[in-house]
């Protein structure tokens, strides 16, 4: 079945085919994602309130749910040209290995030094910060992909970059930290005693190795206490999903070039930025009633926001200093088991994707990590790319769907997002190679404290 290789291994668009505008899916949503709320007043955050935290143009993008296309500034497109268009790869070797009639494609976002899709939004956010005349930005990073991407973007525009890195990652991934330093960023392990909220968390939980929620709180405080800085975030927010639509727009353009219509579109989901970016143009067709796809979000069984979370207003951070977002959440105090190896550790989920899921436009599945690393290794050996653990969640389900096709004989077309490479995740691979990796599924009892911490107010029943 693999001899008729009329489609190239890698479909590359030309530089001139890099999208000139991001696609704003909210414009086509009948049920718009709920607005961010001020945690004090429970009223929707105004542009003015948000502009103390985010750059002005990013605030506009965050709030805009009517304009379908937002032009991509020339400076950002020029940066995109350094690593985009990214290839859409036909997984011929994987298909042959699986002996499946399915046709598998993946959009590979790992061919840049940050090692992931995160750079697509990092460069946009850095650009608007520079344009606004700011000195620098603050952020948090978990596994380190976002921090690396932002460091690169800030180096390019000459901005200061302060990164709060979840302490357990800071210690286990010194090389990630070092890449950020090479790009000129200042990296602080979180929780730290450089912020009030950090000191408070340290006092309450001595010896904690941190969480993404803690690091967000610290980064927001670091921004608030510095002149000429703004806070930036690598996922969850509407603006981030907007920037990531370059992934989906390029994917669709490449498929269209060869008249390929996918049946199933698969992406891993942590905060939702890669999945949201990949599926936006396809979900838009569904929302406009033009076409149907199966869209599948894949999350770790140890951090199951979609599959076991509730759809409610919740805090985006552990320190509860950020606005409330309506999303699928496990509660802002939820911290995944230390056993969990990869990223995708966020307690919440993009409000846009949460709404789509709630309205039935998406499915979600959770997978256990040993099965994920089995898929990662199988993929690496035939396709030649060592995938990030995060991305490997999507590989797992793509393989599962392809194997179903083998049983049924269906020639389905599967597209998945290969968001990044695993070069800085070799500790996890080593555990897997040594058969020292295990699975962990939280019990209902484990999840209860997280749910108990979700704020209760009228209209926030769950």
Positions in the binding site for its own copies (CB under 8 A): 8-10, 12, 14-15, 79, 81-83, 89, 93, 111-113, 115, 152, 155-156, 174-175, 178-179, 181-184, 377, 380-386, 421, 423-424, 426-427, 429-430, 433
Cα–Cα distance, 281 to 283 (Å, whole number):
6
Rg (CA), the chain: 21
**C-beta closer to its own copies: residue 126 or 316:** 126
Least distance between its own copies and beta carbon 111 (Å): 5
SS (H, E, C) the chain: CCCCCCCCCEECCCHHHCCCEEECHHHHCCCCCCCCECCCCCCECCHHHHCCCCCHHHHHHHHCCCCCEEECCHHHHHHHCCCCCCCEEECHHHHHHHCCCCEEEEEECCCCCCCECCHHHHHHHHHHHHHCCCCEEEEEECCCHHHHHHHHHHHHHCCEEEEEEEHHHHHHCHHHHHHHHHCCCEEEEECCCCCHHHHHHHHHCCCCCCCHHHHHHHHHHHHHCCCCEEECCCCCCHHHHHHHHHHHHHHHHHHHHCCCCCCEEEEECCCCHHHHHHHHHHHHHHHCCCCCCEEEEEEECCCCHHHHCEEEEEECCCCCCCCEEEEEECCCCCCCCCCCCCCCCCCCCCHHHHHHHHCCCCEEEEECHHHHHHHHHHHHHHHCCCECHHHHHHHHHHHHHHHHHHHHCCCCEEEEEECEECCCCHHHHHHHHCCCCCCCCCCHHHHHHHHHCCCCCCCCCC
**C-beta closer to its own copies: residue 72 or 322:** 72
**C-beta closer to its own copies: residue 160 or 196:** 160
Least distance between its own copies and beta carbon 47 (Å): 32
**C-beta closer to its own copies: residue 411 or 430:** 430
116, β-bridge pairs: 420
**C-beta closer to its own copies: residue 10 or 32:** 10
**C-beta closer to its own copies: residue 359 or 430:** 430
**C-beta closer to its own copies: residue 122 or 397:** 122
Least distance between its own copies and beta carbon 396 (Å): 16
Least distance between its own copies and beta carbon 417 (Å): 18
What distances in angstroms separate CA 140 from CA 194, 231, 233, one per listed residue?
A: 14, 9, 7
Asked if 244 and 274 count as a contact pair (C-beta separation under 8 A), the reply is yes
**C-beta closer to its own copies: residue 337 or 377:** 377
Q: Which two tokens stand for residue 171?
A: 């210690």
Cα–Cα distance, 128 to 62 (Å, whole number):
13
**C-beta closer to its own copies: residue 128 or 429:** 429
Asked if 442 and 337 count as a contact pair (C-beta separation under 8 A), the reply is yes
**C-beta closer to its own copies: residue 47 or 426:** 426
Least distance between its own copies and beta carbon 78 (Å): 8
**C-beta closer to its own copies: residue 105 or 156:** 156
Least distance between its own copies and beta carbon 79 (Å): 8
Least distance between its own copies and beta carbon 155 (Å): 4
């Amino acid at each position: 079945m693999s001899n008729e290789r009329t489609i190239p291994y890698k479909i590359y668009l030309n530089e001139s085919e890099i999208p000139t505008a991001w696609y704003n899916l909210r414009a086509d949503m009948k049920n718009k994602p709920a607005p961010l709320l001020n945690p004090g007043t429970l009223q929707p955050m105004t542009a003015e309130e948000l502009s103390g935290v985010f750059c002005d143009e990013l605030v506009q993008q965050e709030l805009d749910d009517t304009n379908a296309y937002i032009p991509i500034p020339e400076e950002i497109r020029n940066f995109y040209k350094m690593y985009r268009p990214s290839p859409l790869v036909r997984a011929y070797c994987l298909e042959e290995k699986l002996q499946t009639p399915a046709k598998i494609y993946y959009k590979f976002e790992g061919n840049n030094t940050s090692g992931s899709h995160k750079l697509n939004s990092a460069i946009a956010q850095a650009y608007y910060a520079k344009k606004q005349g700011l000195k620098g930005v603050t952020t948090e990073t978990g596994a380190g992909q976002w921090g690396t991407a932002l460091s690169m973007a800030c180096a390019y525009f000459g901005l200061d970059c302060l990164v709060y890195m979840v302490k357990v990652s800071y210690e286990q991934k010194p090389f990630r930290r070092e890449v950020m330093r090479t790009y000129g960023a200042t990296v602080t392990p979180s929780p730290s005693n450089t912020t009030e909220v950090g000191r408070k968390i340290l006092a309450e939980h001595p010896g904690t190795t941190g969480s993404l929620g803690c690091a967000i709180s610290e980064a927001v405080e670091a921004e608030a206490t510095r002149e000429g800085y703004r806070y930036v975030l690598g996922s969850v927010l509407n603006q981030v999903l907007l920037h990531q639509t370059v992934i989906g727009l390029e994917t669709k353009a490449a498929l269209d070039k060869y008249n390929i219509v996918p049946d199933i579109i698969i992406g891993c989901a942590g905060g939702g930025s890669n999945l949201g970016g990949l599926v936006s143009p396809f979900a838009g067709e569904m929302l406009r009633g033009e076409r149907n796809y199966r869209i599948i979000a894949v999350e770790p069984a140890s951090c199951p926001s979609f599959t076991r979370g509730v759809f409610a207003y919740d805090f985006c951070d552990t320190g509860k200093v950020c606005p409330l977002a309506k999303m699928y959440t496990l509660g802002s105090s939820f911290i995944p088991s230390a056993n969990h190896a990869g990223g995708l550790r966020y307690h919440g989920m993009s409000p846009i994707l949460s709404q789509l899921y709630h309205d039935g436009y998406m499915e979600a599945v959770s997978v256990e990590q040993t099965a994920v690393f089995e898929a990662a290794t199988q993929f690496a050996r035939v396709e030649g790319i060592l995938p990030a653990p995060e991305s490997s969640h999507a590989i797992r389900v793509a393989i599962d769907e392809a194997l179903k096709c083998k049983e049924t004989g269906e020639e389905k077309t599967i597209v998945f997002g290969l968001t990044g490479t695993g070069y800085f995740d070799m500790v996890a691979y080593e555990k897997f190679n040594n058969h020292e990796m295990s699975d962990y599924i939280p019990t209902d009892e484990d999840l209860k404290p997280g749910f108990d911490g979700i704020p209760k107010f009228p209209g926030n029943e769950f």
